[in-house]
Structure 1
Amino acid sequence: MFWIICAATTIVVGLAIIAPLLRGGRMAAEPTAAFDLRVYRDQLKEVERDLDRGVIAPEEAARLRTEIGRKVLDADRRLSQAGTGGAGGRGLLALSLLALLFAGAAALYWREGQPGRDDLPIARRIAEARQVYDNRPSQAEAEARAPAPVVPEVPEDFAALIGQLREAVAKNPDDPQGLALLATNEIRLGNLAAARDAQARLVALRGDDASAGDLVRLSALMIEAAGGLITPEAEAVLVRALTKDPAHPQARYLLGMLQLQNDRPDRAFPIWRSLLEEGPEDAPWIAPIRTAIADLAWLAGQPDYVPPAPLPGPDANAMAAAEDMSPEERQQMIAGMVSQLEARLARQGGTAEEWARLISSLVVIGNTDHARDIWTEAQTRFASQPEALDTVRQAAVQAGLVP
């Protein structure tokens, strides 16, 4: 059926293009030349009438006859060429070009497409998506396959402090604050597996008292360590977080990502759509959602979806959720999001807006020195992009890093 439709469409379009050319030169040129001849002959008759009435002198009449005569000869020549000229040649040329285009398109499809592939009904697509979901690798397998993380250069004094922190945590493994701090700093060093282990120990230590934020952070670290893949183990932790807080925005973002990874855009779209409409605009998950939401809507069968305009700031629900947290929990939540943003930018790169957001966020959480390091790195990264560099510079100026 596909090939029949393509062939019929090609034939109809080709005939619509060729038909005027096959009728071509004569029908296109003859009416104009014939009309010109009639006009010029009428002008000659008008000259004779004006001469008989004495309106013009014989010399003027002779000059007009000569001028009009040249125009008559030119029109007659054009009319003769239209009658004998290459309409057929132009038609054959058009046919050849269309045949060449069709052959090229067929060759391209044969090379890049899948001409022998059967139609894929929705039920079969869902079944295949389920098979992909069921056959995901384990956390250990995914981490073994994941590319090595990008390890940033670390000042010696900072590395010494991290070494002391590791020793302190090893001596006092039941210190939740030490474990949380270790997880955060291992992320900065690019030690994703170590950060994941520290966060897992923190969650195990807190047991049922572990917050949704603790669980989401653990799930996010497991995903990072697995190279971005949401494994069954990471999903289980994510489900625990959503059980504690079904409205947790980062958990919902990761849930949408899980649906995307398993070829279910129809399930991912409503999740990400709600997050985008809720905001806040400066949340780390909003930028990637905005980038993907149009394509995601189309894949989900809603091509007419129009994303909302950027919101000016945090919404009431997000502010209320933050107010219910203790200062320590809020700080940990913010630090975790900032660390994840930094890890993603170090591994994958990002837009100037994301680098600007990272600088601003680091200053907000009191890590001004590290923000200054990020600003230095951004200057190198965006040196060839003046507009992007200006965006990051504005953030650095607002943060007090640039006078």
Structure 2
Amino acid sequence: MSWLPILILALAAFVIAAWLLHLPKSGWALFGAALVFGLAGYALQGSPGYAGAPTENAPVASANSEAIVEARRDFFGRDRVPSRWVTVADGFARNGQFEDSANMLRNAVDENPDDIEAWVALGNALIEHANGSLTPAALYAFAEAEKVQPGHPAPAYFLGVGLLRSGKPMETRAIWAELLENAPEGAEWAAPLQDRLTRLDELLAQMGGPVPVVEQ
């Protein structure tokens, strides 16, 4: 195994946190330093030439953990108080304890299957617990959220984030572009999403990939 996939993963994590999830610039240095120290630690103790094996790791909080929670809250309004389960789950998520967060959120949807924010949060927690992989369980959670409130932007948006983290930026772009095309007039989330789509297009252009043109 070469170092290239590891470096690409680190760069992708920074891009998602800094641009797509709008991590404040004041946190860029801290998040970047965390990535650098992580890579340095892996260089000293890791074995990139050997096949991977499951290990028990302590959860690590990061700026990205906070950004994921805050980005989801933006879609549901700051004046809307989430359920007690979601509130506790967010605390776990902010500390990098995504398995515990997912367990709390399963309680939330068991108690109230119509809690769209809990379903979206569950999808996000499952992706993070799987180290960025869009698992079947996460897909199910986003699908259930869409069933609860068809047309709500959050399930599709975070499905796009999951696809991006799974190495499928063009599928992410298609979902986000469709969201913008169908956005109701005056939607508060449309402008930030347009900004993230623009940044994704810039990233795709830098990578040399085709960027489809969407008529405005």
TM-score, L = length of structure 2 = 0.49
Higher share in helix: 1
Per chain length, whose mean CA-contact separation is higher, i.e. which structure has more relative contact order (CA < 8 Å, sep 6+)? 2
Q: Which has the larger radius of gyration?
A: 1
